[in-house]
Amino acid sequence: METVANKLPATSAAHNPPTYLPLEEITKPNLTTKEAAFYCDRAEQTMRAIACMEPAGMPRPLRINGRLAWKVSDIKALLNGDAV
């Protein structure tokens, strides 16, 4: 009997992490929580906590249909040390 594990491909997402463009090359206005977490070097859950607490000096995400969208300009400002 063949198990489900035998049918899975040899590589998984853990072995092939997503590749991201440099932040300077991003042309879309907003980032997903996963993308924002990558660029800020934080966990996705940390970004969600930041969205809930809204601490001073951190970007405030937009809420679009229950999802968080982080402005690219705010993330760039945060990483450059500018006021958000």
Determine the pLDDT at residue 17: 75
Contact indicator for 48, 7 with CB cutoff of 8 Å: no
Per-residue pLDDT at 5 exceeds 60: no
Instruction: Give the residue from 28, 67, 5, 42 showing the smallest Cα distance to 58.
Output: 42
Of residues 1 and 83, which shows the higher confidence score? 83
Q: What is the pTM of this model?
A: 0.77
How many percent of the chain have pLDDT more than 70?
83
pLDDT tens by residue, 29-59: 999 999 999 999 999 999 999 999 989 889 9
**18 CB-contact burial (10 Å; exposed 0-12 / middle 13-18 / buried 19+):** exposed
What does the alpha-carbon distance between residue 7 and residue 46 come to, in Å, rounded to a whole number? Answer: 35
Domain boundaries, the chain: 28-84
Query: Rounded distance, CA 43 to CA 24, Å?
Result: 21
Query: CA dihedral in degrees (17, 19, 23, 28; nearest 10)?
Result: -110
